[in-house]
Amino acid sequence: MQGHTLLSYDQIVEEITNLPLDQKTDFQTEKIEGVLDFLQEGELYVDVENTYIKLKDYEEYKQVVVEIVNSRLEKSLSSEQNW
């Protein structure tokens, strides 16, 4: 999972399936949904509606950027340049 900041449930299942485990398991999306509360207590942000998981830090960064952009859009910006 290196290099990924956002993974869908299906991608997570695929990554788990591809792990070199001594005993393979039939891991499915339903199992992820069964432990969502546990995952959210940790460092993960779970978007249940869109079925993806990412680090909470990235969700916090996204919210900061969205707030800054929205606050700038609310203001009238001058289209004239004073040379």
The domains of the chain are located at 6-73
Q: Which pLDDT does position 35 carry in this prediction?
A: 76
pLDDT surpassing 50 at residue 1? no
Query: Which amino acid would we find at residue 39?
Result: L
Strand-pair partners of 54 = 6, 45
pLDDT surpassing 70 at residue 3? no
Answer with the residue of higher pLDDT: 78 or 63. Answer: 63
Q: Answer yes or no: are the C-beta atoms of 57 and 14 closer than 8 Å.
A: no
> How far is Cα 14 from Cα 74, in angstroms, rounded to an integer?
43
Q: Which pLDDT does position 81 carry in this prediction?
A: 67
List alpha helices for 22-55, DSSP H: 29-34, 36-41
pLDDT tens-digit map of 36-72: 777 777 888 888 887 778 878 888 888 899 999 888 8
pTM of the complete model: 0.49
